[in-house]
Structure 1
Amino acid sequence: MAMVDKMRVVSLDAGRKYFSLEQLKNIVDMLADNGYTHLHLLVGNDGLRFILNDMRLDVAGTVYESEAVQEAIKVGNVTYYDDPNGNTLTEAEMDELLVYMGERDIELIPAVNTPGHMDAILEAMKHLGIEAPNYVYHDPDSGESTVSKRTVDLKNDRAVAFTKALVELYATYFEGKVAFFNMGLDEYANDAIPNWMPGWKNLQKCGEYADFVAYTNDLAYLLKQHGLRPIAFNDGLYFDYVIDQGTFDSNIVIAYWTAGWEDYEVASSHYFSERGHDILNTNDSWYYVIGREDKESGWYNLEQGLDGIEQAPFDQVLKDEDEAVPTLGSMIAAWCDDPDVPYIEPHLKHWLETFAQKNNQ
């Protein structure tokens, strides 16, 4: 695929932090003016900041009425982070955004991250009366238990069914409007397990990784039934190259963002490609956490992201095993790990303009 034909994507973390319709339109303008093709919008990532007019859910015979679900999600967002700028986008605002994006020739890739990064959704479940939806890590050495704030327990059938039904609501809304939908699927229960031991390794050790494989494939099937191409972040799939607890649907596009770190042994991008997965290059060398504006402000700061743009070219895929890994294109990502810090629009503009100018051929 020629570089000119490849996807050029900007990802925005609008789950942790609320972005207004006006702010999103301004970002769309930035993308259109700099040759990008897609806006990847995480409306669900720790927070869940987009609600539909009809949020009625039928979960295994239990009906949760629309107003109750809407209220529960808003309560969940407040519990996660009570953003003074707003709680959620409305369906009317998303409709307007999609029309505006069409006028600017920018496509949307929506994302609702599960089974991790679900803080607000888990709080919403508890508000609606679902018991113990959170994953609990039981330390075999100390005997102590730690509850994950952001990860659903894949052994809790009702919580899992609720999550799938919720994702399907969004899939139904976006059907016919977009081509891709990101399921997330990254960093399972990393917040609950000490010493940064990956949740994936613990699932595999306990023989529960098969539950994650089944969950992933179920979501992928659900999205395909609505005409949507599923995307997932790379770290959880084939973690440590384990295949004896199940294999993943090869139709899933892999947003390859990390080569892993100590004891976080992710499968290589070449391995995914060999197994038939398309790759969306999401090299974390380009990452920018909004509010971290200099090298003293933490990892993935703006200066680090700008340096990464200079050093890592458009098609440089992490952990490629010295093999050419074909991609659908590349995605740079702006995150809001610290949702209480201000969004500085000129800094975001400078960051995405720098990537566009560096890769303008």
Structure 2
Amino acid sequence: MKIKFFIALLLCVKLVAAQQSAPYAIIPKPVKITSAPGSFAWSGSTKITIAKGGADLMPALNELKAIAGAIKTKSTQANAIVLHKDATITAEEGYRLTVNQKQIEIRVAGLPGAFWAISSLKQLIGTEAFASSGKTIKVPCVAIEDQPRFAWRGIHLDVSRHFFDLPYLRKMIDRMAYYKFNKFHLHLTDDQGWRIEIKKYPELTAKGAWRTLNNQDSACLELAKTNPDFALPEKHFKTIDGKRMYGGFYTQEEMRALIAYALDRGIEIIPEIDMPGHMMAATQLMPWLTTQGKSGMAKNFSEPLCPCKETTFEFAENVFSEIAALFPSRYIHLGADEVEKESWKHLPECEELMKREGLKSVDELQSYFVRRMEKFFNSKGKKLIGWDEILEGGVSSTATVMYWRSWVKDAPKIAAAKGNRVIMTPSAYCYFDYKQDNGTIKTLYGFNPLAFGLDAKERENVIGVQANIWTEYIPTENRLEYMIFPRMLALAEVGWGTADADWTNFNTRLQTQTKLLDAMHINYRMPDILGFTEKSVFVDSAYLSAQKPFADMLVRYTTDGTVPNQSSKILPDQLLVKTSTHFNVAGFSKSGYRGDIYAIDYEKQAYLKPENVSSLQKGLRFYYYPVFYKNTKAINEKDLAAEKTTKAIEIPVGQTAPSFATRHVGYFYAAETGVYSFALRSDDGSVLKIGNKTLIDNDGMHSSVEKSAQIALEKGYHPFELLFVEGGGGYTLQLQCKTPKGKLEDVNEAMFFH
């Protein structure tokens, strides 16, 4: 009996363990998921129905039938998929999904929850949900109870800088629904193009939607010489008055159809007409809208609308009347960011208005414009959203603030404390047009939208998160997908509220999801190949090896300067390098998709001799220059404002200027002879010099980017200099080092002397 008991107990333990480790790779992770043995056979005879009282779930029923359209076989097993409206589910977007061997049951409060349940169901099915195989689909049994923590889970797309047509916007909506995003924020106007028809002002799209090529287009065309994803699509060109013009726009009828398409998938489209700044597409046609009656660029941004003229408000109200009538969304986004206010100063009309309204600054004058537009929005039954600049000069507590300026760290707390609803979209995490590297997704997954010093009451005013995609240098659908996938999946989990400290679990699910991205034909950025530095050195010989993010990835390489393709040599586990060589390396997925190309230079070096120095003190000399420089070469000693000593790489300035530069100077102590690896991350530019020569050049204006290099050092003290420039918008500066026998980690005070 005892033997039988222990055998039964062992089987039970194994069953529980198997259930707990069941491969449910759903993103975003459900709040509660309970595994079960077996599967449901979804065949040609499966009945798909809506229970009584659920007529408004018809779009979800159609979505289920679209999945079933791939099934051609017949089955003798009687089974069903049933949609229910369930009053016991109190969360507006909540759902319960139960899969057993006889039935799939979906219970929801409303249509959005039905779509989120179907998204989870599709992910359970896997790649077969996108393939017309004609086979019965096996759906693993499971019970899911789920609802989002945040009501706002948004994706923002700038269609002004570069245009994206309606078929692609529908594809974006489908993919948003797949990962349970529910707000599609369309940036419809900017200096570079007006994209939505306004019947009162037909010239806004007849002329304002089209342009000759600008400097951003030229930059893209230059990049297209080596990467076709930057080539401007021919479908967005037309000839107007004999000129080849780029652009496009949406008619109100077309937009109305897109809105309906999105609503049928639980997604609300939020329109943004950005004003009073970023309005050159309109002011070029109507220069009387500006202060001086002229359009064009001012010091930093374009000339804004004048908030002191009634004709400005007449124009704005005419535009927003049509926008309010067209979009059923509860919100309209006013923009109100990056406004060049200098032209408002000393204008008689503005001075008179400021005196009459008791306004003390041009910031308060912008606030006057925002408040007046908010009252107009409210009269149309709409709520106003603005970028966090609307806090400057004061804002009503009923406006919703979209926080984007990561460097203005107290903005979320100021807004939440005033009672404003806040949508978290800080550029450091949520600007998906920023460059990516091996730390991007992990950093994003660790984003906590309820941080920022908020207390419990203030956190209640945070309604969600959003990714922002600005398209100055994103001209094609392929490039757009590369920039947003798969990091969009990390934000999906942050927005759903189930992101946690278990990065390993998420990364495992992410690897499964890449197969689904392949099935959806999404041009995602493959995770980085690790294990090497861009500038590698050796004294006698070295081994090039690659740490693959996926076990089934093939890593191929060339040494003749060409780009690796599927016929290039496969990189072995270790490739012996004995002479200075340039490698191009790329990873290929099982489906044949190629990831980023890594240029790796191996250089044969002798150990660098140390300097003969004595009487050194610990730390580095630090120099601070509170001036804007475009790069480190421009640093001028006449601008020096402070000089101190630091233990390692710190910036010991209580309140840095918006733009500044720094130098750290001294000696790096190599505790043993060998090859040292350095990784330098910065936002903006940085340059690392060791032994009086440049080791890493990460210079210029850019987002957070890491570059790496190696150097062969003899034991002793080596001249060290680190230069850094911050152009504005918050800075990052991090230096890591790997000693000959150590691992890559932040530099420390034991390494530096002066």
**TM range, normalised to the smaller chain?**
0.7 to 0.9
8 Å CA contact 1:73–1:120 kept in 2: the answer is yes
1:30-179 equivalence runs, <5 A: 30-52=175-197, 55-56=199-200, 66-74=201-209, 85=236, 86-126=247-287, 132-134=293-295, 146=299, 148-174=301-327, 177-179=328-330
Q: Distance in 1 between matches of 2:154 and 2:295?
A: 32
Q: Distance in 2 between matches of 1:163 and 1:317?
A: 36
Residue 334 (structure 1) aligns with: 469
1:16-35 equivalence runs, <5 A: 16-35=161-180
Aligned to 2:337, what secondary structure does the other structure show? Answer: coil
Aligned to 2:340, what secondary structure does the other structure show? Answer: coil
Normalised TM-score (structure 1): 0.72
Q: Distance in 2 between matches of 1:161 and 1:305?
A: 45
The yes-or-no answer on 1:302 pairing with 2:436 is yes
1:135: Cα distance to partner? 8.7
Count matched residues. 309
1:166: Cα distance to partner? 2.1
Q: Distance in 2 between matches of 1:354 and 1:154?
A: 40
Residues 160 and 339 (structure 1 numbering): CA distance in 2 closer, same or farther, change over 3 Å?
Answer: farther
Rg larger in structure: 2
Q: Deviations over 1:266-308 (max 9, x none)?
A: 7531221121211111122223454xxxxxxxxx223375354
Amino acid at match of 1:209: D
8 Å CA contact 1:180–1:228 kept in 2: the answer is yes
Q: Distance in 2 between matches of 1:335 and 1:69?
A: 21
Aligned to 2:332, what secondary structure does the other structure show? Answer: strand
Residues 51 and 109 (structure 1 numbering): CA distance in 2 closer, same or farther, change over 3 Å?
Answer: closer
1:206: Cα distance to partner? 7.8
1:31: Cα distance to partner? 0.6
Match of 1:281 among 389, 406, 424: 424
Residues 168 and 133 (structure 1 numbering): CA distance in 2 closer, same or farther, change over 3 Å?
Answer: farther
8 Å CA contact 1:8–1:38 kept in 2: the answer is yes
Residue 271 (structure 1) aligns with: 414
Normalised TM-score (structure 2): 0.37
Q: Distance in 1 between matches of 2:290 and 2:206?
A: 13
The yes-or-no answer on 1:9 pairing with 2:165 is no
Q: Distance in 1 between matches of 2:264 and 2:317?
A: 32
Residues 14 and 168 (structure 1 numbering): CA distance in 2 closer, same or farther, change over 3 Å?
Answer: same
Q: Which runs of 5+ in 1 are unaligned?
A: 57-65, 138-145, 193-202, 291-299
Q: Distance in 2 between matches of 1:318 and 1:90?
A: 41
1:6: Cα distance to partner? 2.3
The yes-or-no answer on 1:350 pairing with 2:478 is no
1:357: Cα distance to partner? 4.2
Amino acid at match of 1:328: I
1:183: Cα distance to partner? 0.6
Q: Deviations over 1:141-183 (max 9, x none)?
A: xxxxx59525223345434532343233312322xx1111111
Q: Distance in 2 between matches of 1:94 and 1:78?
A: 25
8 Å CA contact 2:153–2:495 kept in 1: the answer is no
8 Å CA contact 1:25–1:97 kept in 2: the answer is yes
Q: Which runs of 5+ in 2 are unaligned?
A: 1-90, 92-146, 218-231, 237-246, 344-353, 499-754
Q: Distance in 2 between matches of 1:127 and 1:188?
A: 17
Residues 132 and 267 (structure 1 numbering): CA distance in 2 closer, same or farther, change over 3 Å?
Answer: farther
Amino acid at match of 2:326: Y
Q: Distance in 2 between matches of 1:43 and 1:207?
A: 30
Q: Deviations over 1:2-54 (max 9, x none)?
A: 853522111111222211001111110111000111111111233444333x5
8 Å CA contact 1:136–1:147 kept in 2: the answer is yes
Q: Deviations over 1:256-275 (max 9, x none)?
A: 112436xxxx7531221121
Aligned to 2:389, what secondary structure does the other structure show? Answer: coil
Match of 1:182 among 320, 330, 333: 333
Residues 165 and 356 (structure 1 numbering): CA distance in 2 closer, same or farther, change over 3 Å?
Answer: same
Residues 127 and 190 (structure 1 numbering): CA distance in 2 closer, same or farther, change over 3 Å?
Answer: closer
Amino acid at match of 1:90: T
1:177-326 equivalence runs, <5 A: 177-189=328-340, 207-237=361-391, 239=392, 247-260=394-407, 268-290=411-433, 300-303=434-437, 306-313=441-448, 315-318=449-452, 320=454, 325-326=459-460
Residue 197 (structure 1) aligns with: none
Q: Deviations over 1:117-144 (max 9, x none)?
A: 112121121399997155986xxxxxxx
Q: Deviations over 1:203-235 (max 9, x none)?
A: 9x9832332111101111111111111101112
8 Å CA contact 1:133–1:152 kept in 2: the answer is no
Moved more, 24-33 or 11-20: 11-20
Residues 270 and 345 (structure 1 numbering): CA distance in 2 closer, same or farther, change over 3 Å?
Answer: closer
8 Å CA contact 1:289–1:336 kept in 2: the answer is no
Amino acid at match of 1:37: N
1:109: Cα distance to partner? 1.1
Q: Distance in 1 between matches of 2:312 and 2:297?
A: 13
Amino acid at match of 1:96: A
Q: Distance in 1 between matches of 2:152 and 2:251?
A: 28
Q: Distance in 1 between matches of 2:488 and 2:431?
A: 10
Q: Distance in 1 between matches of 2:180 and 2:372?
A: 35
Moved more, 340-349 or 125-134: 125-134
Q: Distance in 2 between matches of 1:79 and 1:158?
A: 31
8 Å CA contact 1:286–1:306 kept in 2: the answer is no
8 Å CA contact 2:367–2:390 kept in 1: the answer is no
8 Å CA contact 1:281–1:317 kept in 2: the answer is no
Q: Deviations over 1:321-340 (max 9, x none)?
A: 89853311111111113355
Q: Distance in 2 between matches of 1:159 and 1:29?
A: 38
C-alpha RMSD of matched pairs (Å): 3.6
Amino acid at match of 1:166: V
Whichever structure has more helix as a proportion of its residues is 1
8 Å CA contact 2:183–2:270 kept in 1: the answer is yes
1:67: Cα distance to partner? 3.7
Residues 284 and 321 (structure 1 numbering): CA distance in 2 closer, same or farther, change over 3 Å?
Answer: farther
8 Å CA contact 1:186–1:234 kept in 2: the answer is yes
Residue 699 (structure 2) aligns with: none
8 Å CA contact 1:258–1:283 kept in 2: the answer is yes
Amino acid at match of 1:55: K
Aligned to 1:328, what secondary structure does the other structure show? Answer: strand
Residues 168 and 73 (structure 1 numbering): CA distance in 2 closer, same or farther, change over 3 Å?
Answer: farther
